[in-house]
Chain A
Amino acid sequence: MTEQVLDAGDHAPAAKTGRRITLRPRRARSKLASSFKTPLWHRVAERTIAVLALTAIAAIALIFIFIAREAVPMFWEAEFAEEVEIRDLFLAKEWRGYDEPVFIWQPVGEPAKFNVIPLFVGSLKVTLLAMLMSVPLGIGCAMFIALYAPRAVREVVKPAIELLAGIPSVVLGFFALMVLASWAQATFGFHFRLNAVVAAIGLALTIVPVIFTIAEDAIQSVPQTLTEAALALGARKYQVALRVVLPAALPGIAAGVVLGFGRAIGETMIVLMASGNAAIMELFDFSTSVRTVTATIAAELGEVAQGDPHWRVLFLLGVMLFAVTFVLNIVGDLAIRLLQKKLTAS
């Protein structure tokens, strides 16, 4: 390994040489470390922490397995096949009594219609709308508090926003249901009193503190030297904020956004109470009522007998929601890494 690097270093450009140099002290340190004997309790503590970390992963894996175990029999069970065709879960079908192929969620009836697409459309609609509201608000708040607000203001506003995170979602849901919905209908003239917009506002109230807290942390931890250097070069305050601090804090802010997204798509109580829960297949009109995946599971799981096709489909929804969150989380993480690489490289 060392030889290869040395070899390459001989006729490689400066960048490679740089890498070789950084390798050396690391090797030296590890050699030094191995000549000491680590105290026993250090090793015990290290192992314990490792086990704890692995427990989290094991828990997630187990949860996934147990949820999937309830859903998967749908692929071979005769009872399920009698009532539902797997492809009807995802594709539009022209049911008896309808003029055209439709995506429809009507789990009670003859025949029961379990199309999951309107539910996912509902979930994504509410989540996206909530993100559109809370991302600018959360980041804006964070920048104001971290960079502009006088001490007195900061000490009132910051805990107040963080307190918002502590409000139980059922309370926010109730607020959205009773107060926000009437206000929104009077103001915007919605046909549906309970709709995606109302639910999204309720959701945004829970996500803003998440994004705010993390973004504010990220902005605070941008090295003072960067701001000072920019100021010394004659940059105005807003230029420092927008062109120095914001880019430097971007990976942290992005992490906050990813976390907020996860919170939004998984939130149940607010959407259950404030979205009207009508499974309407409508992509672009945000003033219609929506039924989200989480609300569907919460509302219907209590009703079904175990092992029933309806039960299996609800668990399938759980698995799919899990998968969606997982994938989005990984994508978010990759994006954060890319950002970081770009920032540290330049």
Chain B
Amino acid sequence: MTKAYQNRSVFLILVAALAVSSCTSGKSRGGGEGSEAATRTSSTLTIKGSDTMVILAQTWAQAFMDANPGKVLQVSGGGSGTGVAALINGTADLANASRPVKDKERKQLTKRRGVEAQEFRVALDSLAVYVPAANKIEALTIPQLKKIFRGQTTNWKDVGGEDRPIVLYSRENNSGTYAYFKEHVLDNEDFAATAQTLPGTAAVINAVSKDAGGIGYGGIAYSEGVRTVMVAPADGDPVEPTMENATSGKYPLSRFLNIYSAGEPSGIAKEYLDFVLSAEGQKVVEGVGYYPLPKEATAAAE
């Protein structure tokens, strides 16, 4: 009897500990903001958001910190949605997003922080469609991709490949890449329920490379160990996701990577953004594997 009681109390403590930890982690997003913002000095900048952009942002931050000693940049990923939510909740100064902010998020930001969201286009990306290296399929059209990710096409032979069931890999729904793909490929319809959601582009790449029937999508800079497929618009020829095709807008899934700030950026945030948009910052973009902004876009941003 006592044993059972002991065990039960152990269990209750476990439950309590679990709940406490989940509660505090939830709270730290809400309650802790004030103090966090207060202790944050003017020389520290917190940047959160897109996993697609996290390596890029880290490289930028490193270069910026090297050039400006004494200034500290904290960069973390989590997804575009996470970044924008952090901007709304006040736990980040800048949000990286691989998709435009939604109207709802703009409204929430204005309501919560009293300022408008400011958008800065900082780089160009081709959203690539990955298949394992052994898959010989050359190109897919947007309608084919839609059918595949809607779960209506379930075998590779239906799109000109070998006879093998298709296994879908998608991203978590806080991902900007997920949102972009959903909007531009699925016409805002739902992903198939069978699409497995993975926590990052690297995880998608890893899964696709290990799965002969796999297909996934993600930023161009990550495509190692898998093959990228040419993508054809509904009424056109297959296009390779290269820099020229992205810059010229020929590749149907090319998109801008953005940084958002709450209101007009000032101080260190402005310095950082200026650096990002400078020739030096754009060189970093290329080094990481994304494409620098086309000239006219840079001009527009300035």
Contact = CB atoms under 8 A, between A and B. Distances in A.
Interface of A: 56, 59-60, 63-64, 66-67, 70, 95, 97, 102, 104-110, 113, 118, 181-182, 185, 191-194, 214, 217-218, 221, 251-252, 255-256, 258-259, 262-263, 266, 272, 276-281, 288-289, 291, 297, 299-306, 308, 318, 322, 325, 329, 333, 336-337, 340
B265 interface: no
A310 to B, nearest CB: 9
A329 B7 contact: no
Contacts of A304: 81, 85
Interface in B60-92: 78-79, 81-82, 85, 88-89
Given A108-B173, A191-B165, A277-B198, 13 more contacts: A60-B12, A60-B16, A63-B23, A66-B23, A106-B190, A108-B174, A252-B3, A272-B199, A277-B172, A299-B197, A303-B174, A305-B89, A329-B8
Contact of A302 (B15, B78, B194): B78
B277 to A, nearest CB: 27
A217 to B, nearest CB: 7
Given A63-B23, A289-B196, A302 B82 contact: yes
Contact of B15 (A217, A262, A300): A262
B9 A56 contact: yes
B211 interface: yes
Contacts of B15: 60, 262, 266, 322, 325, 329
B279 interface: no
Residue among B19, B189, B213 with max Cβ neighbours from chain A (10 Å) = B19
B8 A97 contact: no
Interface in B196-218: 196-199, 207, 210-211, 213-214
B38 interface: no
B105 interface: yes
A46 B214 CA distance: 63
Interface residues of B, number: 56
25 contacts: A60-B19, A66-B23, A70-B26, A107-B173, A110-B188, A192-B194, A193-B167, A193-B214, A221-B3, A251-B4, A252-B3, A258-B7, A263-B14, A276-B196, A278-B193, A278-B196, A291-B197, A299-B172, A300-B173, A302-B174, A303-B78, A303-B172, A305-B85, A337-B4, A340-B4
A56 B196 contact: no
Of all A-B residue pairs in the complex, the 3 with the closest CB atoms, nearest first, are A303-B174, A276-B196, A303-B81
Contact of A218 (B3, B8, B29, B182): B3
Nearest to B79: A303
Nearest to B85: A305
Nearest to B150: A97
B166 to A, nearest CB: 10
A302 B193 contact: no
B37 interface: no
B189 A97 contact: yes
Contacts of A291: 197
B134 interface: no
Interface string B1-30: 101100111111111101110110010011
A259 to B, nearest CB: 5
Given A66-B23, A104-B193, A107-B173, A299 B199 contact: yes
A67 B16 CA distance: 12
Nearest to B183: A109
B179 interface: yes
Interface of B: 1, 3-4, 7-16, 18-20, 22-23, 26, 29-30, 78-79, 81-82, 85, 88-89, 105, 108, 112, 165, 167-168, 172-174, 178-179, 182, 188-191, 193-199, 207, 210-211, 213-214
B172 A300 contact: yes
A63 B19 contact: yes
Nearest to A106: B190
Given A60-B16, A97-B190, A255 B3 contact: yes
Contacts of B172: 277, 299-300, 303
Given A109-B188, A322-B19, A193 B210 contact: yes
A214 B7 contact: yes
Contacts of A214: 3, 7
Contacts of A193: 167, 207, 210-211, 214
Contacts of A105: 193
A108 B4 contact: no
Contacts of A255: 3-4, 7-8
A300 B26 CA distance: 11
Given A60-B16, A289-B196, A306-B30, A217 B3 contact: yes
Nearest to B174: A303
A334 to B, nearest CB: 11
A308 B18 CA distance: 24
B174 A109 contact: no
Contacts of B210: 181-182, 193
Contacts of A192: 167, 194, 196
Contacts of B193: 102, 104-105, 118, 278-281
A192 B194 CA distance: 9
Contacts of A272: 199
Contact of A299 (B7, B29, B174, B194): B174
A277 B32 CA distance: 30
Contacts of B190: 95, 97, 104, 106, 109, 113
Nearest to A221: B3
B195 A278 contact: yes
Nearest to B191: A106
